[in-house]
């Protein structure tokens, strides 16, 4: 063997061990999964069909008013299980956990639970600070919002600007309008069949109407008046 051949042999690189190559492949797969999950979360979830046919207690198709934005969550274990409700016999009013947040931000949070799996939470509707209404879970499907009443009520989360929990005029007006429409749709009596989350579990939600019982009664009377008027 010549001297040049000896030097070339000494310089020849050893191949990477198979275990090292496998490690690199696994790391790249994890990075891709993280990127995909992040894209899913920040886009508000997977693409879904917002034209789902919805039915009332009698099995008649529901026509969703144009003042409601339908932006359904993807079906997933944590925020939209896709399970049918029982007969709807009530409406449960809530307020969102973070003051000053928008309806869209809360909808995105619910959608993100499909990835994070942090908890089980959602709502049929969210009403924003400017009165916008988003439908997140179709009528006739269970939303994870009202505990033992998930199966026989429609849930409404309301945004609020500060820690008092008082709704803006726009949020309040939309809540009255939405509750009146739902009461007519399901043949409910507003003064009896519209309740607070507090009435289900004792949780101080919606806070303003737990601390101001008289205003809660006024609200239900205004819903009844909206129906009769």
Helix 18-42 vs helix 103-116: crossing angle, to nearest 10: 150
pLDDT > 80? residue 17: no
Model's pTM, two decimal places? 0.81
d(CA 129, CA 174): 10
Over the stretch 129-142, which tens digit does the pLDDT of each residue have?
999 999 999 999 99
94 membership: H or E segment, kind and range: strand 90-95
2 by Cβ neighbours in 10 Å (0-12 / 13-18 / 19+) ranks as: exposed
d(CA 229, CA 224): 8
Over the stretch 85-120, which tens digit does the pLDDT of each residue have?
999 999 999 999 999 999 999 999 999 999 999 999
């Amino acid at each position: 063997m010549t001297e040049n051949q000896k030097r070339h042999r000494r310089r020849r690189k050893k191949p990477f061990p198979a275990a090292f190559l496998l490690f690199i492949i696994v790391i790249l797969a994890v990075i891709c999964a993280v990127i995909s999950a992040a894209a899913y979360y920040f886009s508000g979830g997977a693409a879904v069909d917002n034209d789902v046919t919805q039915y009332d207690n009698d099995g008649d198709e529901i026509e969703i008013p144009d003042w409601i934005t339908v932006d359904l969550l993807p079906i997933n274990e944590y925020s939209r299980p896709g399970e049918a409700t029982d007969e709807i016999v009530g409406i449960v009013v809530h307020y969102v956990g973070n003051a000053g947040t928008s309806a869209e931000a809360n909808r995105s949070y619910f959608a993100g639970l499909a990835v994070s799996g942090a908890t089980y939470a959602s709502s049929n509707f969210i009403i924003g600070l400017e009165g916008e209404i988003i439908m997140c879970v179709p009528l006739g499907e269970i939303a994870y919002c009202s505990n033992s009443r998930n199966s026989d009520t429609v849930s409404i989360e309301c945004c609020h600007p500060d820690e008092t929990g008082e709704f803006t005029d726009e949020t309040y007006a939309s809540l009255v309008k939405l509750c009146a429409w739902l009461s007519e749709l399901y043949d409910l009596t507003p003064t009896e069949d519209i309740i607070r989350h507090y009435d289900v579990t004792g949780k101080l939600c919606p806070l303003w109407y737990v601390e101001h019982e008289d205003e809660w009664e006024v609200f239900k009377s205004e819903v009844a008046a909206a129906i009769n008027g």
